[in-house]
Structure 1
Amino acid sequence: MTSTPAPPHGQSPLRTVQVLGRGGAGSAAHVRSLAAGLVARGVRVTVCAPPDTEGAYDYTDAGARFVPVPPRADPASVTSLRAACGDADLVHAHGLRAGLRASLALQGTRGRQVPLVVTWHTKAPTDGPGARLVRLLERRVARAAAVVLGACSDLVDRARERGARDARLAPVAIPAPRPGGRPLTAEDRPAHKLRAELGAVDRPLILVVGRLETHQGHDLLLDAAHAWCALDPQPMVVVAGEGGLRASLQRRIDVEGLPVRLLGRRDDVPELLAAADLLVLPSRWEARSLIAQEALRAGVPLVATDVGGTRELVGRAAELVPYGDAAALARTVLGLLADPARRDTLAAAGRAQAAGWPTEDATVAQVLSVYDELMQRREG
Structure 2
Amino acid sequence: MSSSPVSLPVPAQPYGRPPLRTVQVLGGAGAGSCAHVRSLATGLAARGVRVTVCAPVAAEGEYDFTGAGAQFTPDAVSALRAACAGADVVHAHGLRAGMRAALALRGGGRRVPLVVTWHGGAPEPAGALGRLSRLLERRVARAAAVVLGASSDQVDLARRRGARDARLAAPAVPVATAGEPAAEAGKTRAELGAVERPLVIAVGSLVARRGYALLLDAARAWRVLDPLPLLVIAGEGPLRSELARRIEAEGLPVRLLGRRRDADRLLAAADVAVLPSRWEGRSLLAQEALRAGVALVATEVGGVPELVGDAAVLVPYGDPGALAGAVAGLLHDPDRRAALALAGRAQAATWPSEDETVAQVLSVYDELMERHRP
TM range (shorter): over 0.9
Deviation of the 1:127 alpha carbon = 0.7
- Structure 1 residue 184 corresponds to structure 2 residue 179: yes
Query: What count of residue pairs does the alignment treat as equivalent?
Result: 367
Matched residue, 1:109: 108
Deviation of the 1:4 alpha carbon = 5.9
Are the counterparts in 2 of residues 124 and 134 from structure 1 also a CA contact under 8 Å? no
Distance verdict in 2 for CA 1:23–1:124, change over 3 Å: farther
Are the counterparts in 2 of residues 46 and 64 from structure 1 also a CA contact under 8 Å? yes
Deviation of the 1:125 alpha carbon = 5.5
Greater CA deviation, 60-69 or 306-315? 60-69
Are the counterparts in 1 of residues 122 and 278 from structure 2 also a CA contact under 8 Å? no
Aligned pairs for 1:1-380 within 5 A: 1-3=7-9, 5-70=11-76, 77=77, 79-110=78-109, 112-124=110-122, 126-128=124-126, 129-177=128-176, 182-185=177-180, 187-188=181-182, 190-379=184-373
Distance between the aligned counterparts of 2:123 and 2:9, measured in 1? 39
Deviation of the 1:87 alpha carbon = 1.9
Distance between the aligned counterparts of 1:50 and 1:183, measured in 2? 31
Deviation of the 1:241 alpha carbon = 1.1
SS of residue paired to 1:323: coil
User: What amino acid is the match of 1:91?
Assistant: V
Unaligned runs of at least 5 residues, structure 1? 71-76
TM-score, normalised with respect to structure 2: 0.95
Deviation of the 1:5 alpha carbon = 2.3
Distance between the aligned counterparts of 1:124 and 1:94, measured in 2? 16
Root-mean-square deviation (Å): 1.4
SS of residue paired to 1:273: helix
Greater CA deviation, 294-303 or 58-67? 58-67
Distance verdict in 2 for CA 1:29–1:89, change over 3 Å: same
User: What amino acid is the match of 2:255?
Assistant: R
Structure 1 residue ranges, 4+ long, deviating more than 6 angstroms after superposition? none
Distance between the aligned counterparts of 1:47 and 1:142, measured in 2? 21
User: What amino acid is the match of 2:190?
Assistant: A
Are the counterparts in 2 of residues 82 and 108 from structure 1 also a CA contact under 8 Å? no
SS of residue paired to 1:85: helix
Distance between the aligned counterparts of 1:191 and 1:4, measured in 2? 39
SS of residue paired to 1:243: coil
Distance between the aligned counterparts of 2:79 and 2:326, measured in 1? 50
SS of residue paired to 1:356: coil
SS of residue paired to 2:280: coil
User: What amino acid is the match of 1:322?
Assistant: P
Distance between the aligned counterparts of 2:366 and 2:167, measured in 1? 15
TM-score, normalised with respect to structure 1: 0.93
Greater CA deviation, 259-268 or 332-341? 259-268
